[in-house]
Structure 1
Amino acid sequence: MSAELIRLHDDLKLSDSQEAAWRDYTTAIAPDPQQQARHRATTELLPLVPTPRRLALIEATMAQDAVDFRRQGAAVNAFYRQLTPAQQKTFDQDTLPQGSDPSL
C-alpha cells in the first residue's frame, strides 16, 4: 500500500464497519498488471503496424481503459457512500490531485 493510501486511511479514521469497504476500494484502485501489460504491448506494436491498424489498436486500448475507469469509479463511489460527511470532506481534500486549486 502506498504512503498516500496509508495517510488517507489514517486521516479518515474509519470505523470497524467501514474497513471492508476500504479493502474493496484499495483493491479496485490498485495498479492493474493487465492494464500495464496492455499499454506496454500497444506501445511496442505501434511502430510496427500501418496507420489504420495503429488507430484500431489505440482505439481498443482506449476502450478497455474506459471500462477500467468505470470499474474504478464505481468502487470509489461505493466506498465514498460508506463515509460520513466529515470523512467525505477529508477524502475530497486528501485525494485532490496535486497542484489543483481546492477553491475552484
Structure 2
Amino acid sequence: MSNRYPVPAAKVPPRNSRVLLSFADKSLALFNVADQFYAIDDSCPHQGASLCGGRLEGRVIQCCAHGLRFDLASGYLLNSTALKVANYPVEREGEQLYIVLDAEESGQ
C-alpha cells in the first residue's frame, strides 16, 4: 500500500529549481526539471551528504561531498547500477502535486 503526501503550493519548486521537504520522517528533495517533477531522498547513499544542494544539470544531480552524479528519474548513479538513491513517484492532479511513498518506506 502507498500513501500520497500533498506538496503545499508554496513549496512547489519553480522551473529548474528544487526544494527540501519532510514527509513521514523522511527528508526529500523535490526537483522541477523543465516542468517535470522528481522526488528523491535528500541523503546520498554513499556517505549521507545532502543532495538537494548539489549541482543540477538537466535531470542529473551531483553530490556536493564527493561528486557522485545520480539520474533523478531512475535514482541510479550515472553509467552504473551499483549505487542508487531512493526515488519516489510524483503525481499531479490539476495544480496539486503529491509525492507517493510506500507504506513500508513511510514507516506505517
The TM tier, using the shorter chain, reads under 0.3
After TM superposition, the score normalised by the length of structure 1 is 0.23
Q: Which has the larger share of helix?
A: 1
For the pair shown, the structure with the greater C-alpha radius of gyration is 1
Q: Which has the larger share of strand?
A: 2
Q: Greater relative contact order (Cα 8 A, min sep 6): structure 1 or 2?
A: 1
After TM superposition, the score normalised by the length of structure 2 is 0.22
